[in-house]
Structure 1
Amino acid sequence: MEYSTDRPLVSLTVAGIARRADEYLIVEERIRGQRYLNQPAGHVEPGETLLEAVIREVREESRFAFEPTELLGLYHDNPHQGRRVLRVAIIGEINEAPDDEPLDDGILAAHFMSRAALERTTIPHRSPFVTAAIRDFEQGRRYPLDLLHSIR
């Protein structure tokens, strides 16, 4: 099997999983003119740890402060075409109210939605990772954050 050298083997991303009562923090975003629902998520920047990245992404996309508490899981997508993605989903607590800064470019709004509402919505999910993470959260999957090692 030949591997193309013009596309990355993996795009490393993080997602913040936060729940209040029975609702999850979800962002509504616009990508190439289409609306999607997603957890606050994004790429790990050069020099960032996974925890630093998830704290930044949740703040930029929802304006909530995020305190990581547990690792939910690793989610890998390996399509035949396009970029392969490794998503690190991290559970955390959010503060009571978001700050007043503007949301990140492309983010339309932050919502709290139940699993049922997410399943009923006509707005597509950004990827299958959204429902996979919620399913795993509700099944009680939790791992200690000390599984994540950063070597700088």
Structure 2
Amino acid sequence: MTWHPHITVATIVEVDGRFLMVEESIGGRLVLNQPAGHLEPNETLRQAAIRETLEETGWDITLTGVIGVYLYTAPSNGVTYQRICFAATPVRHHPQRALDTGIVGAPWVTREELVAQPERWRSELILRCIDDYLAGPSYDLDVIRD
């Protein structure tokens, strides 16, 4: 068997202490995650983050920095993910836009609301990324070389 890590992107979008999240149905249960997804062929990491956020939340964003690069092996399936997490600001919402399959909504939640419901986290990375964002600083987008 050949081992292949999955390259993913995620965005932290925060307004007045509330974070844009994705509520999605995974394995019959509703979980919360940042707007996130896999890098697609012929796409840059920045393009992937912007695309995934729009597809999953209906929000156009502007990337403002890089929070960090995370290596995570999911205990549920043993798959290893490399996540590049970006900070972003919301620009424009498209409320009539259909969201990706399986996505129920895109709520804005506080850190405290997330902490109160760890059973709903898609993975532990969601709180780690938010805490790293809050602790600062973020890195300049130029650290990503396309």
TM-score when scaled to structure 2? 0.93
Among 107, 123, 127, the alignment partner of 2:123 is: 127
CA contact (8 A) 1:77 1:85 kept: yes
CA contact (8 A) 2:61 2:92 kept: no
Residue 97 of structure 2 corresponds to 101
Higher fraction of strand: 2
Q: Does 1:28 align with 2:23?
A: yes
Residue 38 of structure 1 corresponds to 33
SS at 2:42's partner residue? coil
Q: Structure 2: which amino acid aligns with 1:25? A: L
The structural deviation recorded for 1:79 is 5.5
Q: Does 1:145 align with 2:133?
A: no
CA contact (8 A) 1:35 1:123 kept: no
TM-score when scaled to structure 1? 0.89
Q: Which runs of 4+ in 1 moved over 4 A?
A: none
Cα distance in 2 for residues equivalent to 1:142 and 1:32: 33
Q: Specify the structure having the higher radius of gyration (Cα).
A: 1
Cα distance in 2 for residues equivalent to 1:137 and 1:15: 12
Q: Structure 1: which amino acid aligns with 2:105? A: A
Unaligned 5+ runs, structure 2: none
Aligned-pair Cα RMSD in Å:
1.6
Counting matched residue pairs gives 145
Residue 117 of structure 1 corresponds to 113
The structural deviation recorded for 1:100 is 1.5
CA spacing shift, 1:79–1:104, aligned 2, 3 Å: closer
Cα distance in 1 for residues equivalent to 2:74 and 2:124: 12
